[in-house]
Amino acid sequence: LAQPVTPELLVSPSSQDGDLGSECPEDRGNWTGRLDFLLSCIGYCVGLGNVWRFPYRAYTNGGGAFLVPYFIMLAICGIPIFFMELSLGQFSSLGPLAVWKISPLFKGVGMGTILIVSLVAIYYNMIIAYVLFYLFASLTSDLPWQHCGNWWNTDLCLDHHVIKAGNTTFPVNITNTVSPSEEYWSRYVLHIQGSSGIGDPGRIRWNLCLCLLLSWTIVYLCILKGVKSSGKVVYFTATFPYLILVMLLIRGVTLEGAWKGIQFYLTPQFDHLLSSKVWIEAALQIFYSLGVGFGGLLTFASYNTFHQNIYRDTFIVTLGNAITSILAGFAIFSVLGYMSQELGVPVNQVAKAGPGLAFVVYPQAMTMLPLSPFWSFLFFFMLLTLGLDSQFAFMETIVTAVTDEFPYYLRPKKASFSAVICISLFLMGLILTTEGGMYWLVLLDDYSAGFGLMVVVITTCLVVTRVYGMKRFCRDVHMMLGFRPGPYFRACWMVLSPATMMALLVYNIVKYQPSEYGSYRFPTWAEVLGILMGVLSCLMIPVGMVVAVLREEGTLWERVQQASRPTMDWGPSLEENRTGMYVASLAGSQSPKPLMVHMRKYGGIT
């Protein structure tokens, strides 16, 4: 039998000369264990916000009634966008920058994401540094924020132990007093009295600086080998907080007065549901708590095998995250109820959100318990593990995004590249360790991931459904999972999710309020700086468009059309997963190249 002749058209460069194989970039790597991906996603989504934002948001927005808009918003814009991000990452095995081969015209969205994540990573690690500071401070027999009379205390300091021990026949006026834990936080940890405002940062607090250095070192060591190392650490950091949360919950519920707090947290006030604010708050809580738009989900999914069941994982992670938030509310409010009974004030006077809850109210409640250093250590250790795995995700996102852009140069040097990023973000975060650092942290927290993040998510949603095409996207999901997304997902992607996001964006702009920290109002230049932070990430999108259009040829309209179509190598990264229209379109494969060029230029097969 004669040898079959390979037509000239089908001969690939790789079969002609063997040297080209060595030019392939180093392997990206994958998750090593079966649960690595799921636990990393849970660790990423379940963060500090579940403990210090959700319970407070629930009680200010109608208590138990808040759960109604919360779960509706979870269904409309939480689950669908979460699933979309995972699908994009897993299908292409690319990071948040390179994934825009799907439509190079919109690569600026990826650049905006990286900018937002970098800003968030700077201040998020500072919060972890505060947690480490308190963690070390808890390693004593007497908690340092238990009593007044230290050098940092003022005359306004009032020790609740004194009130309890003293004769309670005369009423104590506690309106103008400050708790020892509050003075410890603001005057000792932050030393905020050394700064007059955001424009006068004061000196660096060296103990905070060392804590920040330590937290960056921990993060670096955990992401040193990429997902291979961080995928192992999350087995501890994603599961351990649950153990501590249950311990704190049991301890909290057994305290007297605990029911008072829980009642406060859960009593439904249905009249709140008529105000738009509650629905917006619910959507914001879902949005930030699931971490959509930060690129972390996309990055994690890109290390999956091609047929991993992300559909199931989506529901496990999103519902698990919601349940954790509700549980954390019980743990927090049961202790607040006990505390309000001890101090003899209503619960709403002790309840706070954000850092105030974690570093002032809860530590103060800890001093009232027997074995207080032990409970305090547990609480801060829980916050540490909650914060760390979210930080791993931010760092992994930045590193993956850039190494996927330059795989030949950076992939072999991933460890040193990660070190460069960690060191530069540490240096940028040094201003947060100064006496006025808290003002900068509030500014970053308010503006870095505000409307910029929403613009990024809305654009992603619209590009995938309108530019790339709903049909194509559903076909890609079908290739991976063996079934097409149902009408619920399609309706959310096409209409409901983008519409909800748009409403959020408009609400955020209309109801804009200047930042403040306690009674301190930020000056105008700081406001402008904050708004610029948000605008800069949005500006990346038009900048990316200009660059993409300049790279193409032809008239302007032809250039725009070409730049908005997927690149030739878009699709699954491994040859064996490329079926249907993706067959043999990878460089170096047995591919009829001229046909592919023709398809890219004129769209479709003629």
Choose among 154, 150, 118, 155: nearest CA to 453.
118
Angle formed at CA 91 by CA 418 and CA 108, multiple of 5 degrees: 60
Q: Binding site annotation covers 321?
A: yes
Q: Is residue 25 part of a domain?
A: no
Q: What is the pLDDT of residues 447-467, one digit of tens each?
A: 888 888 999 999 999 999 999
Residue identified by tokens 């909800």 is: 500
pLDDT at 28: 84
State the Cα–Cα distance between residues 292 and 23, nearest whole angstrom.
35
Residue identified by tokens 């593990």 is: 385
- Say whether pLDDT at 595 is over 80: no
What number of other Cβ atoms are within 10 A of residue 594's Cβ? 9
Averaged pLDDT, 43-50: 92
State the Cα–Cα distance between residues 456 and 397, nearest whole angstrom.
15
To the question of pTM greater than 0.85 for the whole model, the response is yes
Q: Binding site annotation covers 389?
A: yes
- Number of Cα atoms under 13 Å in the Cβ half of residue 424: 11
State the Cα–Cα distance between residues 12 and 590, nearest whole angstrom.
5
- Say whether pLDDT at 322 is over 80: yes
- Say whether pLDDT at 430 is over 90: yes
Q: What is the pLDDT of residues 203-241, one digit of tens each?
A: 999 999 999 999 999 999 999 988 888 889 999 999 999
State the Cα–Cα distance between residues 433 and 215, nearest whole angstrom.
13
- Say whether pLDDT at 592 is over 50: no
Q: Is residue 458 part of a domain?
A: yes
State the Cα–Cα distance between residues 120 and 293, nearest whole angstrom.
12
Q: Binding site annotation covers 386?
A: yes
- Say whether pLDDT at 104 is over 90: yes
Looking at the structure of the chain, the number of domains it has is 1
CA distances from 320 to 72, 289, 313, 430 (A): 16, 12, 10, 35
Q: Binding site annotation covers 243?
A: no
Bin 167: left if φ > 0, else alpha if -120 < ψ < 50, else beta: beta
CA distances from 104 to 113, 452, 460, 469, 563 (A): 15, 20, 12, 15, 6
pLDDT at 602: 52
Q: Is residue 246 part of a domain?
A: yes
Angle formed at CA 493 by CA 491 and CA 498, multiple of 5 degrees: 110
Q: Binding site annotation covers 43?
A: yes
State the Cα–Cα distance between residues 544 and 535, nearest whole angstrom.
15
Residue 318, domain CATH: 1.20.1740
Residues 6+ apart with CB under 8 A from 18: none
State the Cα–Cα distance between residues 384 and 211, nearest whole angstrom.
12
Give residue 96's domain range.
34-164+173-588
- Say whether pLDDT at 314 is over 90: yes
Q: Is residue 70 part of a domain?
A: yes
Reported confidence tier of residue 58, pLDDT bands at 50, 70, 90: confident
Are the beta carbons of 278 and 66 closer than 8 angstroms?
A: yes
Q: Is residue 26 part of a domain?
A: no
Q: Binding site annotation covers 17?
A: no
Q: What is the pLDDT of residues 565-582, one digit of tens each?
A: 999 989 998 888 888 888
Give, rounded to a whole angstrom, the gap between the first and last alpha carbons of the chain.
35
pLDDT at 450: 82
Mean pLDDT computed over every residue of the chain: 87
Q: Is residue 24 part of a domain?
A: no
Q: Is residue 593 part of a domain?
A: no
Reported confidence tier of residue 591, pLDDT bands at 50, 70, 90: very low
- Say whether pLDDT at 169 is over 60: no
Reported confidence tier of residue 116, pLDDT bands at 50, 70, 90: very high
Angle between helices 524-551 and 451-462 (to 10 degrees): 20
Reported confidence tier of residue 128, pLDDT bands at 50, 70, 90: very high
Are the beta carbons of 396 and 223 closer than 8 angstroms?
A: yes
Reported confidence tier of residue 21, pLDDT bands at 50, 70, 90: very low
Q: What is the pLDDT of residues 280-303, one digit of tens each?
A: 889 889 988 999 999 999 999 999
pLDDT at 284: 86
Residue identified by tokens 């007093």 is: 177
Q: What is the pLDDT of residues 525-559, one digit of tens each?
A: 999 999 999 999 999 999 999 999 999 998 999 99
Task: Give the three-class secondary structure for 413.
Answer: helix
What number of other Cβ atoms are within 10 A of residue 288's Cβ? 16
Choose among 354, 362, 353: nearest CA to 60.
353
Residue identified by tokens 């509310």 is: 329
pLDDT at 7: 44
**Alpha helices, DSSP H, located in 407-496:** 407-410, 414-428, 437-447, 451-462, 470-481, 487-491
Over its C-alpha atoms, the chain yields an Rg (Å, rounded) of: 26
Bin 373: left if φ > 0, else alpha if -120 < ψ < 50, else beta: alpha
What residues does 178 pair with on adjacent strands? 157
Reported confidence tier of residue 10, pLDDT bands at 50, 70, 90: very low
Are the beta carbons of 561 and 547 closer than 8 angstroms?
A: no
Q: Is residue 370 part of a domain?
A: yes
